Chain A
Amino acid sequence: MKIKLNVEDSPRIKELKFTLKRIKETPLSLVGLAIIILFTIIAIAAPVLAPPRFGRDPYIIPRYGYFPEPQPPSPEHPFGTTEGQYDLYYGVIWGTRTAYRIGILVVSVSALIGIIIGSLAGYYKGIIDEVLMRLTDIILAFPGLILAMALVVAFGPGLNSITLALILVGWPTYARLIRGEFLRITSEDFVEAAKAIGCSDFRVIVKHILPNAIFPLLVVASLDIGAIVITAAALSFLGLGAPEGYADWGQLIALSRNWITGTADNPFAYWHTYTIPGLFLFFFVMGWNLLGDALRDILDPMIRRR
């Protein structure tokens, strides 16, 4: 698909088209994009690929008995079962939806909060900046995972708690980022010009500064989606996440944790329990990381055109 650069396009559109062109040209970003599209299809098609039982919450994996020992792949269970006989195939398919839910929700909300706070701090500077930055400092100083753990324990384990906790722990990074960009940009001429012609603060921030400040945030956000999904999986692994039997990759890996050493004669007897959800998690995260990494090159104004 060729993207034509038309001389009459407004600068914004021109830059956008250039970005898309560059994405097309970078093999890494294309691979990342392909992976993401694949997972998106899986997520959307989940009800078709793994039909839920009637009248049940589709996120609860159907179980076929109560025996602890995971069963290897078979015609009835293409990916086998986990500890407690939950169908692994169903779990990883619907787990894709869960991953998207968590990743996108956490990243977009924390980015939003970060943008608001960061732009206020970076635009108005002075006392507002000091206070807001102290606040972000305090949250950043404490190791994120542990703070998230404490919050999840307070809210009660579950995906909603994880989402909330990760948002609360994640927004300071975005705030810092946006603030930095704002500090850099606010002293530029065009901002002065906009103010001089009487634009309201709000307008200056949203229409003038933000579109220029947003790029590093986009890069971080795309990389963050992967990181958030891993962190959520880690929390499930530590027992603070989705309850057992919920379609969540981290929870599935948690279920496999104690079977990793296999049986006496076959150390890999239960390979499917940790390999399959692990691979899903790994590729999902890698897709977003590849895209984010490539975007970093493409969007950075300093190296974009070289």
Chain B
Amino acid sequence: MSRKSVSAISKVAALIVIVVLIAASVIGLGAYMVATAKPTTIVITQPLIETKVTTLTQTRVQPGTTILETVVQTITTTPTTAITTTTTPTKPEIKNPNIMIEATIGEPETLDPAWAYDTASGEIIFNIYETLIFFNREKVDQFIPLIAKEVPSVENGLIKDNGLTIIFPIREGIKTHDGGVITPEDVEYSFERAMIQERDGGPVWMLLEPLLGVETLADLGNLSNPEDAARIGEMIDKAVEIEGKNIVFHLKRPFPTTTFFQILSQTWSSIVDKECAIKHGAWPGEKDNWLEVFAKYHNPEVPELQDADCGSGPFMLEKWEHGKEVSLIRFNEYWRGPAKIERAIIKKVDEWSTRKLMFLRGDADIIYVPRQYMKELEGAEGVRVITNLPTLAIDALFFTFETDPNSPYIGSGKLDGKGIPPDFFKDINVRKAFAYAFDWDTYIQEAWMGEAEHVPGPIPKGLPFFNPDQPKYEFNLTKAEEYFKKAWNGEVWEKGFYLEILYNVGNIPRKTAAEILKENIESLNPKFKIYIRAVEWPTYLRAMVKGQLPVFLIGWLADYPDPHNFVHPFMHSSGAFSAWQKYSNPRVDELIEKGITETDPAKRRDIYYELQRIYYEDTPSVVLEQPLARHYERDWVQGWYYNPIYPGIYFYALSKGYE
């Protein structure tokens, strides 16, 4: 390096510093001038109204349909403002007109409808694909025909044999994004392909249950055995068949029709264009060698339609920038007419502060607002918030009846004051004591800001056969003490105990619930010690799978809006959660199985009421809350409505503009 260059470097350095400073100031100044001056604000808050924006309405009782009760309940401690809009006299210019931007956390796992089980994937899929029938706007039990020409019913003759045969006439002329047309072959293909793929941990069990009577193909036989494979393949074939211009479903056993329709209205029942799918390497549709078919297409590591768009919905996939955003573009030849916006972009913005700033600047039209930060948007200009939306989710505290004796979370593993025995929770008195020690008021007021419901049993409010009069636990330390004294013949009270409650890092409501429980229980007896531990998801999963958690806090989000979808995971001996608990009550299993094969709503009602009663008496778990959700959008967003079962925003309904 020459001598000149060294002194030149210092000169250059000085110059660069000056240039950067000037550039920054110029850019900043320019942008600042461009950014509009803040207009004076007028805050318009609609007077305190006590009705909700959306309700699940009552429907007439018809054979085969179900009743939904209304959900209007006011929570007296917080004002139930329906809609709050803060507006300015000169409305800000709508940013990015014709593009709807949603900023949220998380991102889709896949675009393959047979694979997807998470809501992020579901949100994209239900915008680019269509199903035979779909929910009628806000209703979860009324349907409109989409790919099907008509919604089957007993009256129009499309439901036969006591609900075992259901016929869907297929609409003609529906164009697909790939340049084709939807035919009955595509419909048959979509369902058969899904059942063939049946990946571990996927949603297809919901199709298998009504159509084949099992939850997994493995229950029918061994797919690598030629005879079994052929037999199972034939069952799949017969379950969905083409008859002229119709598709016929043959159910294996009686199944409540509305529930079946709810399953058919969701993303795993999306209709896929067969030619397009085959182009992406999916099953070609041949049925002569089932052994080979299963070998090649069953439970793959990566699904064929992972990144593909073989749908016919109102939007097409424009680009999926992994980890960043998904952009959808309007499908102009959509059979119901083109959407009102040209593009929909779902951006992944994990950082709350950034998301919020984007929202306030108009660079995002709809955002996900974590409950704890609601306050930060209070009174913000141009923001519309809709509150108290009933969700179909239940969070509960689960007791493990037989913990792994080697679990690191049960202390000494004995009832010696330094731990708990693995079957600690088998004693009903312990469970009741824990239940009475939970302070719902504090929990709901402080952790949920009043926006949650205290429901008695595993069935959420708003679903059919929810029993509003079912007795439930209330906070009562006297009773808690009483039951603790009875527990294990008084040994619990005398010796005390130690156990650990784990929660998944970042889940604040669960942490709060654990702390409230700990505070209350420890206040009863100094020998009661509970340690609360934060762990990462991998550790939590491991502990759960290996049965090491003496208690676990977890929630269930509805797959479809039917009570069966809740009682099974909460109470059935092979249920998603109850199996971990090693809870088993044969009467319960019997009732649950009857419930899902019974088509008479009155009889179903009796069954589920009985189950809710047993839940309260047996207390295998304690329901903590059913959350109420909020929706935040800019006030130039029009057309949004709430359906609790939607996996995300249904962009076809939206437009951008001021009324």
Chain A residues with a Cβ under 8 A of chain B: 63, 65-69, 83-84, 153, 156-157, 239-240, 243-244, 257-265
Bits for B344-381, please: 1 = Cβ < 8 Å to A, else 0.
Answer: 00000000110011001000000000111101111111
What is the size category of the interface that chain B forms with chain A? Answer: 35 or more
Residues of B close to A239: CB separation below 8 A? 505-506
Interface residue B579 (Cβ < 8 Å from any Cβ of A) = no
Looking at chain B's contact residues, the main secondary structure is helix
Given the known inter-chain contacts A68-B373, A258-B352, please indicate yes or no for A263 contacting B447, CB distance below 8 A. Answer: no
A152 nearest CB neighbor, chain B only:
B536
Interface residue B602 (Cβ < 8 Å from any Cβ of A) = no
Contact between B381 and A258 (Cβ–Cβ < 8 Å)?
A: no
Give, as a whole number of angstroms, the nearest-CB distance from A74 to chain B: 17
Could you say which of B372, B376, B533, B538 contacts A264, with CB atoms under 8 Å apart? Answer: B376
Contact between B372 and A153 (Cβ–Cβ < 8 Å)?
A: no
Q: How far is the CA of A153 from the CA of B541 in the complex (A)?
A: 14
Contact between B446 and A157 (Cβ–Cβ < 8 Å)?
A: no
* 10 interchain residue pairs of minimum CB distance: A68-B372, A264-B380, A66-B446, A243-B534, A258-B352, A264-B379, A261-B353, A66-B512, A69-B375, A67-B446
Contact between A263 and B535 (Cβ–Cβ < 8 Å)?
A: no
Residues of B close to A260: CB separation below 8 A? 353
B506 nearest CB neighbor, chain A only:
A239
Give, as a whole number of angstroms, the nearest-CB distance from A1 to chain B: 41
B516 nearest CB neighbor, chain A only:
A66
Chain B residues with a Cβ under 8 A of chain A: 86, 352-353, 356-357, 360, 370-373, 375-381, 442-443, 446-447, 449, 505-506, 508, 511-512, 515-516, 533-536, 538-539
Q: How far is the CA of A240 from the CA of B508 in the complex (A)?
A: 15
Contact between B356 and A263 (Cβ–Cβ < 8 Å)?
A: no
Contact between A157 and B508 (Cβ–Cβ < 8 Å)?
A: no
Give, as a whole number of angstroms, the nearest-CB distance from A67 to chain B: 5
Contact between A259 and B376 (Cβ–Cβ < 8 Å)?
A: yes
Residues of A close to B378: CB separation below 8 A? 263-264
Give, as a whole number of angstroms, the nearest-CB distance from B456 to chain A: 23
Give, as a whole number of angstroms, the nearest-CB distance from A39 to chain B: 28
Show 13 residue pairs from A and B whose CB-CB distance is below 8 angstroms, ordered by the A residue.
A66-B515, A67-B446, A83-B372, A157-B505, A157-B534, A240-B536, A257-B352, A258-B373, A261-B353, A263-B378, A264-B360, A264-B377, A265-B379
Residues of B close to A259: CB separation below 8 A? 373, 376
B539 nearest CB neighbor, chain A only:
A156
Residues of A close to B377: CB separation below 8 A? 263-264
Contact between A264 and B539 (Cβ–Cβ < 8 Å)?
A: no
Q: How far is the CA of A25 from the CA of B446 in the complex (A)?
A: 56
Give, as a whole number of angstroms, the nearest-CB distance from B74 to chain A: 22
A243 nearest CB neighbor, chain B only:
B534
Give, as a whole number of angstroms, the nearest-CB distance from B219 to chain A: 36
Residues of B close to A84: CB separation below 8 A? 508, 512
Residues of A close to B360: CB separation below 8 A? 264
Residues of B close to A68: CB separation below 8 A? 371-373, 375, 447, 449, 508
Residues of B close to A156: CB separation below 8 A? 535-536, 539
Residues of A close to B538: CB separation below 8 A? 153
Contact between A153 and B536 (Cβ–Cβ < 8 Å)?
A: yes
Give, as a whole number of angstroms, the nearest-CB distance from A155 to chain B: 10
Q: How far is the CA of A83 from the CA of B352 in the complex (A)?
A: 14
Contact between A264 and B381 (Cβ–Cβ < 8 Å)?
A: yes
Give, as a whole number of angstroms, the nearest-CB distance from B475 to chain A: 14
Q: How far is the CA of A157 from the CA of B506 in the complex (A)?
A: 12
Q: How far is the CA of A260 from the CA of B353 in the complex (A)?
A: 7
Q: How far is the CA of A259 from the CA of B378 in the complex (A)?
A: 13
Contact between A244 and B535 (Cβ–Cβ < 8 Å)?
A: no
Q: How far is the CA of A69 from the CA of B370 in the complex (A)?
A: 12
Q: How far is the CA of A259 from the CA of B353 in the complex (A)?
A: 7
B375 nearest CB neighbor, chain A only:
A69
Contact between A263 and B376 (Cβ–Cβ < 8 Å)?
A: yes
Q: How far is the CA of A121 from the CA of B110 in the complex (A)?
A: 51
Contact between A157 and B536 (Cβ–Cβ < 8 Å)?
A: yes
Give, as a whole number of angstroms, the nearest-CB distance from A237 to chain B: 11
Could you say which of A63, A69, A257 contacts B353, with CB atoms under 8 Å apart? Answer: A257
